[in-house]
């Protein structure tokens, strides 16, 4: 019934894409993009004021004989190190879907999976991955689709969301980052390419994750993940 209602909706392309991916069983998430090598160190902040210790003497300015190669130089002093990630997301909204939830920064659970809050109405941001506004990589925001205690959560509405659906992620500094849905996949859990979903390189993007598909009533788990990819709009 549910599947039929999705296909019968106005948003056939996305639904068909999701179904094709699910039926094809490829689910490699190749569409999420892995361009760019991301090679580098976070010490690469340029333009910082250098702190010379007191004994250093500044030489008279002189033009070098040959143009110097562009090499980023920064202070290695502990207090001058740049922040490793941008401000954390605190709020996630999908106005067209009626989703407006708080976001918590999370790491891993005791089994090495992303650890989500039990309440499906609280979303989780993977704090070891990209933050909104990062130059590269996937910002991962996930939430439970349902729970016996809390009932069906807002992320249940993602699976049928059409291409172009707007997502707003507000970070702790008050900035709101806007994304638009480009791809929806329903992938059997054992076939999800998590290294792509959690990639720290490639084009900046938002990856929303929840559960879906068939349910194993004995193991109390869904057999698939719903992965929604969205790109920054501005």
Partner 1 sequence: MKKILAAAIGAGALVALGTAVPASAAESPAMLSVLHGVPGLTVDVYVNDELTLDDFTPGSLAGPLELPAGTYAVAITASDATDASSPAIGPVDLPLDAGGNYTAVAHLDEGGEPTATLFTNDTATLAAGEGRLTVRHVAAAPAVDVLAGGSPVITNLANPDEQKLDLPAGTQSVSVAATGTTDPVIGPADVEVAEGANTIAYAWGSLEDDNLDLAVQTVAIAGMHSSPDGVPAGSAGLVATNAPESAASWTAVLGAAVLAAAAGVTILLRRRAGARVEH
Considering the complex, state which of residue 142 and residue 206 has its C-beta at the smaller distance from partner 1. 142
SS3 118: coil
Integer Cα distance of 138 and 82 in angstroms:
20
* Residue 30 beta carbon to partner 1: minimum distance, rounded to whole angstroms: 16
Considering the complex, state which of residue 216 and residue 234 has its C-beta at the smaller distance from partner 1. 216
The greatest distance separating any two alpha carbons of the chain, rounded to the nearest whole angstrom, comes to 79
CB count, 10 Å around CB of 40? 10
Considering the complex, state which of residue 6 and residue 169 has its C-beta at the smaller distance from partner 1. 6
Considering the complex, state which of residue 127 and residue 178 has its C-beta at the smaller distance from partner 1. 127
Cβ atoms 85, 134 nearer than 8 A: yes
Fill in the DSSP letter of residue 148.
T
* Residue 94 beta carbon to partner 1: minimum distance, rounded to whole angstroms: 16
Integer Cα distance of 107 and 116 in angstroms:
9
Considering the complex, state which of residue 10 and residue 76 has its C-beta at the smaller distance from partner 1. 76
Considering the complex, state which of residue 109 and residue 233 has its C-beta at the smaller distance from partner 1. 109
* Residue 234 beta carbon to partner 1: minimum distance, rounded to whole angstroms: 27
Cβ atoms 222, 188 nearer than 8 A: no
What token pair was written down for 146?
């349902």
What token pair was written down for 113?
């999976």
- Write phi, then psi, for 169 (nearest 5 degrees): -120, 115
* Residue 225 beta carbon to partner 1: minimum distance, rounded to whole angstroms: 6
* Residue 86 beta carbon to partner 1: minimum distance, rounded to whole angstroms: 14
Integer Cα distance of 126 and 198 in angstroms:
9
* Residue 220 beta carbon to partner 1: minimum distance, rounded to whole angstroms: 5
């Amino acid at each position: 019934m549910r599947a039929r209602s999705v296909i019968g909706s106005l948003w056939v392309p996305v639904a068909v894409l999701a179904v094709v991916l699910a039926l094809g069983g490829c689910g490699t998430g190749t569409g999420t993009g892995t361009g760019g090598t991301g090679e580098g160190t976070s010490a690469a902040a340029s333009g910082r004021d250098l702190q010379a210790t007191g004994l250093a003497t500044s030489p008279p300015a002189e033009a070098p004989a040959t143009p110097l190669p562009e090499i980023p130089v920064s202070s290695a002093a502990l207090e001058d190190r740049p922040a490793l990630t941008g401000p954390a997301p605190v709020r996630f909204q999908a106005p067209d879907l009626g989703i407006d939830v708080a976001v918590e920064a999370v790491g891993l659970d005791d089994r090495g999976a992303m650890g989500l809050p039990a309440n499906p109405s609280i979303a989780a941001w993977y704090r070891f991955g990209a933050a909104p506004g990062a130059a590269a990589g996937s910002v991962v925001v996930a939430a439970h689709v349902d729970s016996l205690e809390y009932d069906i959560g807002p992320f249940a509405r993602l699976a049928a969301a059409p291409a172009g659906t707007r997502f707003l992620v507000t970070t702790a500094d008050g900035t709101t980052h806007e994304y638009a849905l480009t791809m929806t996949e329903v992938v059997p859990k054992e076939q999800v390419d998590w290294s792509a979903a959690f990639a720290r390189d490639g084009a900046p993007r938002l990856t929303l994750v929840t559960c879906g598909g068939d349910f194993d009533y004995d193991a109390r788990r869904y057999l698939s993940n719903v992965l929604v990819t969205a790109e920054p709009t501005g």
